[in-house]
């Protein structure tokens, strides 16, 4: 943890973040004071939701006996305003990451895409003859006879009931799960969009409102 603390002192919170995550991923016991330092690092990186999670963990583990209890309470107070801004913002998710219009459906939520039921083939295998086109029967002499499958007329397949053979279906966009938007890696600044982007953000606000209805 010393390497992470050194980077914090230098003001290089990105490097400190990397060191803290290495400690977590090592599956080694986490030093009891580390959640506070990690929470402070995440705060400086504007990852407020994640910062709150680690701060809560620190206070649960250490309580008022923690070496950095007072600093933790100060951080808790500093987190209130940015977390409130995230909750009030229509342009980011609850973690504070900016929304962007889905590039696949362009915010329309639904899109014409290869049929998921038949995988874009337009047909599905017959469930009676298992795609063979023939079924077997035993005659009165207990001899196996082969007959044309009456369900698929010997074709071994049926026209897809979902797309009716068109190979495509209009359904929820699979890229955004029908939300019309996706989360970027950028932290939201909760500020109005530039004029040339205003229509995009108006659409995002509309999508946000519809999602919450």
Q: What pLDDT score was predicted for residue 55?
A: 96
Q: 158 and 182, same structural domain?
A: no
124 and 202 assigned to the same domain:
no
CATH label of the domain that carries residue 138: 2.10.230
What is the domain count for the chain? 3
* pLDDT at residue 202, as a whole number: 55
Domain check: are 105 and 178 in the same one?
yes
| 105 & 180 share domain | yes
Tokens of 106: 């362009």
- Collapse the DSSP code of 125 into the 3-class scheme (helix H, G, I; strand E, B; otherwise coil) and give the result: strand
Question: Of 120-134, 135-149, 196-210, where does mean pLDDT reach its minimum?
Answer: 196-210
Residue range 4-29: mean pLDDT, rounded: 93
Q: What is the greatest pairwise CA distance in the chain?
A: 92
CA pair distance 204, 187, nearest whole angstrom: 16
Q: Is residue 206 a contact partner of residue 137, using CB atoms and an 8 Å limit?
A: no
Q: 3-class SS at 100?
A: strand
Separation CA 85–CA 45 (nearest Å): 16
State how far the Cα of 51 lies from the Cα of 49, in Å rounded to an integer: 5
**Is the per-residue pLDDT at 78 higher than 60?**
yes
Q: Are residues 104 and 189 in the same domain?
A: yes
Q: Domain span at residue 156?
A: 111-171
Q: How far is CA 125 from the centre of its chain?
A: 33
Judge if 126 and 29 occupy the same domain. Answer: no
Identify the H or E element spanning 25: helix 13-25
Asked whether residue 110 carries a pLDDT value surpassing 60, the answer given is: yes
DSSP per position, 69-99: HHHHHHHHHHHHHHHHHHHH-SSB-TTSEEE
With a cut of 70, say whether residue 30 has pLDDT above it.
Answer: yes
So what's the pLDDT on residue 208? Answer: 60
The CA-to-CA distance between both ends of the chain, in Å, stands at 45
């Amino acid at each position: 943890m010393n390497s992470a603390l050194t980077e914090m002192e230098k003001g290089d919170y990105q490097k400190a973040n990397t060191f803290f995550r290495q400690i977590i991923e090592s599956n080694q016991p986490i030093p009891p004071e580390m959640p506070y330092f990690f929470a402070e690092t995440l705060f400086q990186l504007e990852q407020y939701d994640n910062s709150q999670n680690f701060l809560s963990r620190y206070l649960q583990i250490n309580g008022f006996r923690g070496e950095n209890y007072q600093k933790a309470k100060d951080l808790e107070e500093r987190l209130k305003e940015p977390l409130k801004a995230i909750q009030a913002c229509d342009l980011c998710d609850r973690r504070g990451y900016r929304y962007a219009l889905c590039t696949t459906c362009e915010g329309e939520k639904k899109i014409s895409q290869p049929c998921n039921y038949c995988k874009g083939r337009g047909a599905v295998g017959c469930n009676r003859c298992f795609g063979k086109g023939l079924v077997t029967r035993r005659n009165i002499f207990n001899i196996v006879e082969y007959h044309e499958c009456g369900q698929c007329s010997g074709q071994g397949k049926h026209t897809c009931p979902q797309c009716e053979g068109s190979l495509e279906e209009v359904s929820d966009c699979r890229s955004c799960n029908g939300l019309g938007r996706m989360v970027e890696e950028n932290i939201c600044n909760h500020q109005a969009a530039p004029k040339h982007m205003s229509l995009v953000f108006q659409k995002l606000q509309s999508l946000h409102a519809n999602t919450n209805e």
